[in-house]
Copies of this chain bind each other. A is one copy, B any other.
């Protein structure tokens, strides 16, 4: 079996063909326990029925359990599994999971919460789903993701060191002069087990029409948590293939199974179309793209510019024109030296008839071969804030020396 590919068949049979201890992460979204025959119709009107009408819960649990056992076998010692549960069967599945992976390897019950259309149901709106997170061993791979501090947290709490006095009371630490002591740099609050992620990604052309399709960011978060680049992600119940798409976007290796041919074809199409959408993806690998995309977006938004998604040279336009002329923006990519960035922007801006161009420099090239005399009048190069900030240390030292000399 090949990595970065998709296979049609019962995931039990397919997993049996895999070697033990080879997979880094598994996301599993087993078919729901409905005592009806599931009929789905694809866009083209093809109708097919699942073989997922179980006689009773025991059959369903047995079916899933067999496959979970294979999941455990193929997982690496440092691997993890995420099981997305149907609310009618989650408790039975959790018991199976406890048996197979062990209670001590139960890591989290993740709550995926979202807002959705309300209905007239008597009772509470059903706005969450549960994902169980188990590791194979206690030495599982885990990358902490940090989030913002709460609004109620003040600077002192974040910055200051604390100690306990002889009575065990916690106090801010002070030095011999009675001055408070500042602690280490803080990164933020570790991610909690409640994830608020919109059900439908609003801007997403992401939707392909599969009923249980998950948002890509949900899968991205899972994959980021327990894998690094080039690690292998398996989805034994692939469906529309969101797991694989996310894996690919994050530059992980992937493997997907599904019993229906429609799912396999759909996934292949989706995976293919990502490649088509952005050649940069394919060339550079996803991690670079992903981070830069977020960073670029943050910068673009911070200057009130309109982001442009599908242009190799221009990242956005200023909302306001200058002297009635359009201002095109490009942010220097990780793998670009300044000449590349400037060249791309000039080329794109020329064909789009932009009056002004702005490059945001994100790093200094190791060898700076850029000829500053080449800059046209209507092009401005700005250092990203952090580049400017890094100079502050030097500036301070220089000034101090000067002062000392005087």
Binding site for B on A (CB under 8 A): 87-88, 90-92, 94-95, 98, 103, 107-111, 113, 115, 118, 121-128, 130, 133, 142, 144, 148-156, 158-159, 179-180, 182, 184-194, 202, 225, 281, 286, 289-290, 295, 298-299, 301-304, 306-311, 314, 317-323, 326-327, 348, 352-354, 356, 358, 360, 377-378, 380, 382, 384-386, 388-393, 395-396, 399-400, 403
Contacts and interface: CB of A to CB of B under 8 A. Distances in A.
A91 B132 CA distance: 12
Given A118-B190, A193-B124, A326-B185, A391 B380 contact: yes
A309 B151 contact: yes
B360 A281 contact: no
Which 9 residue pairs of A and B lie closest in terms of their CB atoms, listed nearest first? Answer: A151-B289, A91-B91, A127-B192, A298-B302, A154-B310, A91-B94, A125-B192, A124-B193, A113-B194
Given A189-B118, A301-B298, A352 B149 contact: no
Interface centre among A190, A318, A392 (most CB of B within 10 A): A392
Nearest to A380: B392
Complex copy number for this chain: 2
Contacts of A130: 109
A389 B358 contact: yes
A395 B180 CA distance: 48
A308 B149 contact: yes
Contacts of A395: 377, 380
B124 A108 contact: yes
Nearest to A96: B91
A326 to B, nearest CB: 6
